């Protein structure tokens, strides 16, 4: 036997936007539903044994918070009279409470993004590789008073984008070059539907990577879109305009009178990255 239920959202904060909904048995009622849809009300058919549903926020800013709601009975007039009320709780933000978490805010990993602009002289230049002097630290103990108990590692940013106003490399996933394993090294670059995996090396304390070229499909379409993820992120790559196939005969170099190198760390928050300077090795394009 089954029963029909209606879910309406009565109160939520401004940071929530998208939700997934499960029943008490573990079935997924919907993998993605917007806040506006829940405010208007959405109906589902569930089994009679279901006694509660779980609403899970899947927005990045909300850290996948969950709310378990018991199934109750209300009248039609009560349902029609239900109104949505925005709810935002003010609080005091506390920072630097731990030495081994960085781009992490109250349990939420946030992207650490740093971008370097370069301007060339009279002629266009072709960017060949990126050479970055960054120090990467991991603290061994959780103490804001002991800043010496740290080690320098070979970890690095996990993503990069090399672009100018006309071209973009798309999202480059950065992986450390496999050592003493030629078979694993020859697997790169790897082409994904929404990114490309390449390797970086660390030599003489410089991180270096290349294997990138222009991937835009149409120069008349923007390379970036305004970010809806967080106010701290100004833009995101326009994936609809990126072609991540191997493009054996159409590997145009990044070429212009300027270039921007965007480094991103969004897969961990225990890494302290101290960037000193970045060099982009290029040659004049005659």
Confidence grade of residue 32 (pLDDT, cut at 50, 70, 90): confident
* 119 and 222 inside one domain: yes
In a domain, 243, yes or no: yes
DSSP 86-121: E------------SS--SEETTEE--EEEEEEEE--
Give mean pLDDT, residues 53-69: 73
Residue 199 confidence (pLDDT) above 90: yes
Helix (H) or strand (E) holding 38: helix 35-40
Q: What are phi and psi of 232, to 5 degrees?
A: -80, -10
Q: Provide the pairing of β-strand 196-203 with 172-176.
A: parallel
Cβ-based neighbours of 72, under 8 Å, separated by 6 or more: none
Domain co-membership, 115 together with 239:
yes
235 with 277, same domain?
Answer: yes
The answer to whether residues 79 and 215 belong to one domain is no
Residue 27 lies in a domain: yes
Q: Looking at the structure, do residues 153 and 266 belong to the same domain, yes or no?
A: yes
Residue 99 lies in a domain: no
Backbone CA torsion sign across 268, 269, 270, 271: positive
Closest CA to 133 of 212, 203, 210: 203
**168 and 240 share one domain:** yes
239 shares a domain with 145: yes
Give the CA angle between residues 273, 277, 278 to the nearest 5°: 100
Are 134 and 248 in a shared domain? yes
Q: How far apart are CA 170 and CA 160, in angstroms?
A: 8
Q: Mean pLDDT, to the nearest integer, of 189-202?
A: 94
Task: Report yes or no on 20 lying in a domain.
Answer: yes
Q: Residue 235: pLDDT above 70?
A: yes
Q: Are residues 178 and 119 in the same domain?
A: yes
Kindly state whether residue 49 falls inside one of the protein's structural domains.
yes
128 shares a domain with 71: no
Q: Are residues 41 and 144 in the same domain?
A: no
More confident residue, 106 or 77: 77
- Could you tell me what percent of the chain has a pLDDT over 70? 88
Shared-domain flag, residues 47 and 156: no
The helix or strand, by DSSP H or E, that contains position 78, with its residue range, turns out to be helix 76-81
Number of domains in the chain: 2
User: How many CA atoms lie within 13 Å of 12's alpha carbon, on the beta-carbon side?
Assistant: 25
In a domain, 187, yes or no: yes
Residue length of the chain = 286
- Kindly indicate the confidence band of residue 231, based on its pLDDT and cuts at 50, 70 and 90: low
pLDDT of residue 234: 81
Domain region containing 74:
2-86
Give the C-alpha distances (Å, rounded to integers) separating 205 from 26, 137, 156, 275: 49, 13, 12, 12
């Amino acid at each position: 036997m089954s029963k029909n239920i209606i879910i309406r959202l009565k109160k939520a904060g401004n940071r929530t936007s998208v939700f997934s909904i499960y029943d008490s048995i573990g079935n997924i009622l919907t993998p993605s539903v917007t806040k506006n849809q829940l405010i208007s009300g959405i109906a589902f058919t569930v089994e009679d044994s279901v006694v509660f549903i779980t609403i899970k926020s899947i927005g990045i800013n909300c850290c996948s918070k969950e709310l378990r709601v018991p199934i109750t009975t209300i009248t039609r007039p009560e349902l029609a009279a239900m109104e949505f009320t925005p709810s935002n709780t003010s609080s005091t933000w506390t920072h630097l409470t731990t030495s081994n978490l960085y781009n992490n805010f109250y349990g939420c990993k946030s992207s650490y993004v740093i971008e370097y602009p370069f301007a060339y002289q009279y002629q266009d230049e072709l960017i060949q590789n990126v050479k970055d002097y960054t120090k990467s630290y991991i603290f061994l103990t959780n103490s804001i008073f002991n800043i010496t108990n740290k080690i320098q590692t070979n970890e690095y940013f996990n993503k990069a984008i090399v672009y100018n106003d006309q071209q973009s490399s798309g999202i480059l996933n950065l992986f450390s070059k496999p050592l003493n394993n030629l078979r694993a090294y020859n697997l790169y670059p790897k082409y994904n539907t929404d990114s490309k995996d390449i390797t970086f090396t660390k030599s003489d304390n410089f991180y270096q990577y290349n294997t990138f070229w222009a991937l835009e499909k149409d120069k008349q379409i923007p390379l970036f879109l305004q970010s809806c993820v967080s106010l701290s992120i100004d833009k995101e790559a326009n994936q609809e305009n990126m072609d991540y196939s191997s493009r054996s005969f159409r590997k145009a170099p990044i070429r212009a009178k300027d270039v921007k190198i965007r480094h991103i760390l969004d897969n961990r928050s225990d890494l302290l990255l101290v960037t000193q300077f970045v060099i982009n090795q290029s040659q004049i394009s005659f």
